[in-house]
Amino acid sequence: MYKILISGMAYDGGKSGISVYMNNMIMELAHEHQVYVAMLESDIDCFPATDNPNIHFIRISDLLRNPLINMFWHLLILPLMIMRGKYDFTFLPAANRRAFLFYPFYTIAVVHDLSQYHIPGKYDLFRMFYIKHILPFCVRRANQLVAVSNSTKADLIKFWKIPPGKISVIYNGYDRKLYSSEGTMKVQPDLEGGIEKNYILYISRIEHPGKNHLNLIKAYEKLSEPIRNKYDLVLPGSFWPGSEPVKEYAEQSFCRDSIKFPGYIESPDLPSLYRNASLYVFPSLFEGFGLSLLEAMACGIPVVCSNNSSLAEVAGDAALKFDPHSIHQITVCMESVLSSEGLRDKMVQAGLQRINDFDWTKNAYKVIELYEKRSE
């Protein structure tokens, strides 16, 4: 049994893909090891309820929630705080957001994506300086890196000049108990805005331009009238800074009554939302992995997605793919699936087969293996 220090300082209140990663990896590692999680006090309240005695929280004051303060505190102070802990190793589950300036213990650092190199204007000038100059210097000094996809590994080599031999690719998993094609088919009745028709689904924080909601809405507008009239476009997710163009366009759209923004949906309510969807669309301009692809496939619905970054890699042959910059291609892919029951059934079966390659338990075992092979 190992004693593992985990940084939970990029938890996002439990409302992001990184927080899903943290939830699952913390709980999987805690099956056999003692894990100590440094996390903001308010974020601890958002962590899924667990009675596992192997999970211990190091409570960090919410005064450190300010991103600028948090960045530098994590770089300089947190590594000093943990020096007396005598941990076997440190696990940084979001090193593309938070890293250490120096490493008191053997450290395995996870990088989800380097999207800032692919999406102009994603962050302000200061944050871009931090990500492009400070983080690479710090992350290079970690003992071992994990990339969640081969796409991310390629970016680490290209942009951060990480030696290929220092990077292991370990795919994310999905919650096999929560997401499956079996279960209730009833849509949660309390979704904001209501859902009365069949629907096309895309679950993501509402963020422009990276998540590409605008092109999806425009593609939806161009569906043939019989299909468009049959399906709503449902876009659950929290409104993040920069979401204003999406809201403004949707409000002015001639399809505005069919475009639904239910807000953030808690995890227990997601499976029925997936299962009731007629199609899942993932049009993001760039993703390090794309967890919702797996969740949708596991719930037995067909998927169409961008042909870029990791999305094509994760989806494999189980999805139709499009150029996310091409409104026409997005429309064609959606219409192809929605107008052909045979294609839909074929894609559902391919998706259910594809998800066998992704598992959180195997992910945790591979992280432990990296530590145990440290002296080889």
pLDDT of 175 > 50? The answer is yes
Provide the CB-side half-sphere exposure for 169 (13 A, CA). Answer: 17
User: How confident is the model at residue 298, as a pLDDT?
Assistant: 96
For the cut 50, the answer to whether the pLDDT of residue 221 exceeds it is yes
Q: Which helix (H) or strand (E) holds 319?
A: strand 319-322
pLDDT of 187 above 50: no
Q: Would you place residue 349 in the very low, low, confident or very high pLDDT band (cuts 50, 70, 90)? A: very high
pLDDT of res. 193:
54
Helix-helix angle 291-298:17-29, to 10 degrees: 70
Residue type, 123: Y
Please give the structure tokens belonging to residue 65. Answer: 């929630």
DSSP string, 69-131: HHHHHHHHTHHHHGGGG--SEEEETTTTT---SS-SSEEEEEE---GGGTSTTSS-HHHHHII
What is the CA angle 42-289-76, rounded to 5?
Answer: 45
Given a cut of 70, whether residue 183 has pLDDT beyond it is no
Average pLDDT value over all residues in the chain: 92
In the prediction, which pLDDT does 51 show?
82
List CB contacts of 105: < 8 A, sequence separation 6 or more: 5, 82, 87, 88, 89, 90
Sequence-distant (≥ 6) Cβ neighbours of residue 136 within 8 angstroms:
159, 160, 161
Reported as a pLDDT band with limits 50, 70 and 90, residue 191 is low
Our measurement of the distance from residue 224's CA atom to the centroid of its chain's CA atoms, rounded to an integer in Å, reads 32
Write down the residue that tokens 């699952």 correspond to: 24
Which pLDDT score, from 0 to 100, does residue 182 have?
A: 72
What is the spatial distance between Cα 363 and Cα 249, in angstroms, rounded to a whole number?
40
What confidence tier does 65 reach under pLDDT thresholds 50, 70, 90?
very high
* DSSP track, 262-287: -----GGGHHHHHHH-SEEEE--S--
The domains of the chain, with CATH numbers, are 3-173+359-372 (3.40.50.2000), 198-357 (3.40.50.2000)
Residues 6 or more apart in contact with residue 322 via CB below 8 angstroms: 283, 304, 305, 306, 307, 329, 330, 332, 333
pLDDT digits (tens, 9 = 90+) for 206-220: 989 889 999 999 999
Query: Residue 189 above 60 pLDDT?
Result: no
Q: Flag the least confident range among 10-24, 131-145, 249-263.
A: 10-24
Hey, which of 10-19, 63-72, 328-337 has the most confident mean pLDDT? 328-337
Could you tell me the pLDDT band of residue 121, with boundaries at 50, 70 and 90? low
Which alpha helices (H) appear in the chain, and where do they start and end? 17-29, 41-44, 67-76, 78-81, 125-129, 135-140, 150-159, 213-221, 225-230, 244-252, 270-276, 291-298, 311-315, 327-338, 341-354, 360-372
**pLDDT over 90 (residue 375):** no
Q: What is the pLDDT of residues 193-210, one digit of tens each?
A: 567 789 999 999 998 988
Tens digits of residue pLDDT in 224-281: 999 999 999 999 998 888 889 999 999 999 999 999 999 988 888 899 999 999 999 9
The answer to whether the peptide bond before residue 209 is cis (omega within 30 degrees of 0) is: yes
Please provide the distance, in angstroms rounded to a whole number, between the alpha carbons at the two ends of the chain.
20
Please name which of 236, 246, 249 lies closest in space to residue 281, comparing C-alpha atoms: 236
The answer to whether 128 touches 158, Cβ cutoff 8 Å, is no
* pLDDT attached to residue 293: 95
Sign of CA dihedral 27, 33, 38, 42: positive
Instruction: Tell me the C-alpha distance between 142 and 133, whole Å.
Output: 16
Confidence label for 16 from pLDDT (cuts 50, 70 and 90): confident
pLDDT value of residue 188:
46
User: Contacts by 255-258 with C-beta closer than 8 Å and gap 24+?
Assistant: 255/217, 255/220, 255/221, 255/228, 258/197, 258/228, 258/231, 258/232, 258/233
Non-local (6+) Cβ contacts of 171 within 8 A are 148, 149, 289, 314, 357, 358, 363
